[in-house]
Structure formats: C-alpha cells, structure tokens
Structure 1
C-alpha cells in the first residue's frame, strides 16, 4: 500500500523510513519549513541508530499545500497543538476511502481526525519507540533494530481487512504492532505511561535510564499511575494493563528498551517549544474533574512544567531594566 506521513518529525520519520525500507511507497508531508528545506537541500534525511552509522536516506517531502498524492493510509504524527492547522492545510488530499493511523502522544487528536475521516477508517495507536530529531533533516533511532512496540485499535473497535493489512505491513517494517479491540483503554495506557516518564524526565532533564535508577522512581511512578487509574475507573475506561503491569512497563521501557532516550517532552522543552503536558497530565486531571475526582499530582506536575516553560522563556534583561528604571524614579 501507499502511505503518507503527516508530521515528518522524529517519530514520523521513523515510521515512514521503516515502512519505506520494508518496500512500501511513502510520502512525507511536513508543516515545519526548515525541515522541508533541509531535506531537499541534502536530498534526503540523515538517519542514525543510537548515535551511530549515520547515513542518508532519500525521501519525498512536501508542504501540505504542495501535496497531491493519493495514499491508502495516512500516518499522523504532528504535535497535538499543531494538528488542527495541519489537517486544515492538508484537507484537499483527504478522500473517503483513506484510512488514518495516529500514534500521537497525549489525547485530543481523535476528535480532530473525526472531522476529516469516517470513524470506521480511524485507527488510534500508541508507540513505545524512542526517536530523537537532532535537527532539520537529521534523525536518530533509539534502540536496537526491531526494538520498541506499538498498540493499535479501531475507533469502532471492529477490526476489518484493511486494518489487518496495515498491521501486517507495520509488522514487516519492524514496528511490532499489537491489534486490540479496546480503543480508549489502548490510548489511555500510553497517556498514563507518558504522564510518568515524559513529565518527570523533562522536569529533571534526565534520560529514561537515569530516571528508573532513582530510589524514588517507583514511588513517584506508582503515585501517578494510581491517580490515573482512579480517573479511568470513574470514567468507565478499562485499561489494557493493570496498575502493576503499567509500572512494569515503565520499568522495562526505561531500563531495557530505551534507557538512553530523552522523551519527546524533554526534546520540546530543551528546544524552546511548548510541551504537550496539557494533553497528557492535564488531560488526566481534566477528565477526572468530569467525574468529581482531582488527580492533584498530575495537575501539580502540569503546572510545574508550565512554570519551567515560563522560566525558560523569561526575559531577565527586561526585568533588570524595569528594576533599574524603578530605582531611578525613586
């Protein structure tokens, strides 16, 4: 089948390149112009694995306005806050027969996808796959070949032939997909994972392998996991994992699969971009409020991340000038 990746950042490039290497036709549609310009300038994207074996992989990349292809499947990997604009700009290329798979972080994207794709053609997904965008046109796959896994579920919770064909081709691309029939439980399991690892690693600027070695990693993780499970139970969401299995997933991915990985939230923070914390910890807290439950630790962490964003961007020189002006006026 033919694929189009909307959002050719770190994860979009990984999925697209692996599908391309498995023999499938892949186009990349990107909204960040420096990425488009750099990939065109160097005639492809530089790909490394765990900082080694850097090599150039030719890819076809377009802006949304330029794209005229007709893929069978869209793979959507924009940031949550960019999705509405990306979909609007690309809408001319959407057709009723097309399927969409979206392994994005956080929650909020499904409602936006439903504005353009029939629910029968929407496949929610999650990815436990570490990837870093070093800069425009330069991506690093974290973990050994074949490392990582993903879950996917139809929004209708009724897998059809097309879904199983997508699963088969993702398997050929070493994406290790697991097909479930629990849509919200599948998506929320990853939101909970990210609410622990992404947020805590970002706050303390550490890799996942560093985090999991901390003597307080388990206590912090279980507190966040318990609050999130309490929310989901009140919302009537049956998760894929038990509380214990969720903690075991945090342990395994952090210590075995991707110990050298800085989560995507950290990558956003370190590069001056807004984080997706409102769509992760914030989503859990806001969902809890609908059922008269306060996930206070998740709200506390969300606000800490926003404070870190504020302090990162704070104009110290402007403050000093203001203080000096006040002193002179006395």
Structure 2
C-alpha cells in the first residue's frame, strides 16, 4: 500500500522513513512548516541518526498540502494536539472517501477531530512507545536501539478489515513491532497513564529518561501513581490493556531503552508550545 504522512516531524519521519526503508512501500510526506519542507528539498532528504550516531540523509518526497496530487491508501497523522484542527482543515481537499487513516498521537481527543473528515470505520487508532527527537528542520534522531520500537493498534469503530491487516503487516515489516488490541479505549488510556507518570516526572525535573530511571525510588513512586490511575479507570469501567505490574515494569524497560530521550511533554514546555 501507499502511505501519506501528515506532519513531517519527529514521529512522522520515524514512521515514514522506517516504512520506506524497511518495508519498501511508497511514502509521501505532507508538511506545512516551510523551513522543514525547504530544507528537505535543499539537501535531498531528511537527515536521520539513531541515538546521535550514523547521521545520514534519507531521500524522501515532501509536499505542501496545496501542491499534493497523490492518492495514498492510508494517511498517517502525527501532529501536536494544539495544531491538529488547523492541519486537518488545510489538508481536507486532498482527502478521499476510500482512504483510511492511522494516528498514534499522544493525549486524547484527536480521534474525534479526525472523525470529522473520515468514516469512523476507516480510522485506525494506535499508541507508540517510540521516542524520537526533531533537532531542527529535516533533522531527526531515532532514540533507542534497533528493534526497541513498540506500538499498539486498534480500530476506532467496527471490526478489523483487510486494509487494517495490510497496514499492520507493513508496520511489522518496517520493524515498528505492532500489537493488535480489540480494546480501543483501554489501549489509549494505557499510554495516557504511562505518560502521566514518566513524562510528567521527567518534565518536572528536566531530565532524560535514562537519568530518571537511575533514581532508586522510581519503582515505589511509579507504583503509587499507577495505582491511582488504575483505580480511577476501574471506577470509570475502563479496562487497560496492561496489568498494573506490566505498566510498572515498562517504566524501567522503556526508560533504559530510551535513556537519551527527553519526553515530548518536556520538549513542548521547553519550546513554549501551549
């Protein structure tokens, strides 16, 4: 299948480049940040590193929405929550009724915005335990060793279908390591709860995840916070896709895998994003 990436930022580049380079599928990138688009065109692609090493330029196709003439089978959306509504409005003329859309953005509320432009059964939800940093225009750093990527997928509405299965197969071929879930809300809330602990604490103390996990009291602190979140979800009738212990254990495994990473919440605050 052919993919169109809406938002050539940290995660947009991560998914698009890995799909193109590892799965061998066609990928187009759509972006509205002029310095980013023009830098890609100037240097012939995006500069990619992994954990600050092996910087190299990967050739890609990038377009402004107004000039795009392609027709991807699946859109992949990675925009900041505060930018999404305006982005979708600008991109609307290039959307088509037969297309599907996948999004694995942080937070909540983005699927409702996307559903204003796509049929609900064409929306594939996701969460990504994948850390990436955009250093500047057309310059991205993939955090973590190869194979550390982890993600979940679930349909926003309806049953899994052939297009969704093919997207999952392509993500697997790209080494993004997708896991399927039939529990859409539980999938979303599991990531929200993880971010509420790890991202919040790293941001509060302005530290990388590797520094965070070196604190001896991390496990006890995380356990208390996860228990509060799980208690609230249970009272709301939401069953998360991971157990309390699995969520606690993931703090250590993820933080060690992405030891050089400042979480996205820290990046938003440090750059003055609302």
Q: TM-score, normalised by structure 1?
A: 0.80
RCO (CA 8 Å, sep 6+): is it higher in 1 or 2?
2
Deviations 1:20-78 (A, max 9, x none): 11211101111222211211221211001110110011111112222221100010100
Secondary structure, aligned partner of 1:65:
helix
Residue correspondence of structure 1 range 178-189 to structure 2 within 5 A: 178-189=179-190
Residue 200 (str. 1) matches residue 193 (str. 2): no
Is the 8 Å Cα contact of residues 157 and 183 (structure 1) preserved in structure 2?
no
Greater helix content: 1
For 2:261 and 2:271, how far apart are their aligned partners in 1? Answer: 16
Residue correspondence of structure 1 range 251-290 to structure 2 within 5 A: 251-255=252-256, 257-274=257-274
Is the 8 Å Cα contact of residues 212 and 254 (structure 1) preserved in structure 2?
yes
Report what 2:137 is aligned to: 136
RMSD, matched Cα: 1.2
Residue correspondence of structure 1 range 64-143 to structure 2 within 5 A: 64-143=65-144
Report what 1:2 is aligned to: 2
Secondary structure, aligned partner of 2:67:
coil
Unaligned 5+ segments in structure 1 are 275-330
> How far is 1:230 from its partner?
2.0
Which deviates further from its counterpart, 58-67 or 71-80?
58-67
Q: Which has the larger radius of gyration?
A: 1
> How far is 1:216 from its partner?
2.6
For 1:200 and 1:24, how far apart are their aligned partners in 2? Answer: 38
For 1:186 and 1:40, how far apart are their aligned partners in 2? Answer: 37
Number of residue pairs matched by the alignment: 273
Secondary structure, aligned partner of 2:179:
strand
For 2:40 and 2:141, how far apart are their aligned partners in 1? Answer: 15
Secondary structure, aligned partner of 2:65:
coil
For 1:84 and 1:202, how far apart are their aligned partners in 2? Answer: 26
For 2:218 and 2:262, how far apart are their aligned partners in 1? Answer: 16
Deviations 1:268-318 (A, max 9, x none): 2223323xxxxxxxxxxxxxxxxxxxxxxxxxxxxxxxxxxxxxxxxxxxx
Report what 1:303 is aligned to: none
Residue correspondence of structure 1 range 137-286 to structure 2 within 5 A: 137-156=138-157, 158-255=159-256, 257-274=257-274
